[in-house]
Amino acid sequence: MLFRSLRESERQGHSNVELLELAGDFEKKARANGWWQRTLVLSEDERRVLFQIRWSTLTRLLQTFPFAPSLDDWRVYYGVLLEHPENSAGRGTAELAAQRLSYAHALAQRDASYPIQFAEGILHLQSGQPAEAAQAFEAYLADPTHRRWRLRARNHLLACAFSQETL
């Protein structure tokens, strides 16, 4: 019912009473966060996870089975926030970078397999901080247990060196 109301709201181009009753101010929040551009830019899974975490938080059942999100749900949730940070309108590059780093660290707290140093390197590189990115990639490469993205980390490290030379 919730997703049917959401699709109807997207089709109409404005909120409807049913969506407001089921999702509260979600549409307003989605528009403010840039998640709504003619339609909601989130996949069905991302929508489901955002609603689940939102309502589990509001009802204080975030830690209670079966309302507690799974690890995969947390990965989807923080993936959305990394791509579309909350309250990003009017924020500067440094503020957005810090916000994205906080999301990455929050995910790393829940997911021990999350390559936080690699993520830090990417986020620093995207925000125009090649020296900080290089430190993160070097830390990632120094850990012999990190095998998955070693070639990419080395390539990004080269990009950092090139970026620093051109500054």
Count of CA atoms in the C-beta half-sphere (13 A) of 135: 4
The structure's pTM equals 0.82
What does the pLDDT read at residue 139? 96
pLDDT one digit per residue (tens) for the chain, 167 residues: 677 777 777 777 767 777 777 777 777 788 788 887 777 888 989 989 988 998 898 889 999 999 999 999 999 999 999 988 887 777 777 888 889 999 999 999 999 999 999 999 999 998 889 999 999 999 999 999 888 899 999 999 999 988 766 55
Which stretches within 33-128 are classed as H helix? 44-58, 71-83, 93-110, 116-126
The pLDDT tens digits for 39-86 are 788 898 998 998 899 889 888 999 999 999 999 999 999 999 998 888
Residues 46 and 40: beta-carbon distance below 8 Å: no
Q: What is the pLDDT of residue 166?
A: 57
Return the pLDDT at 7: 79
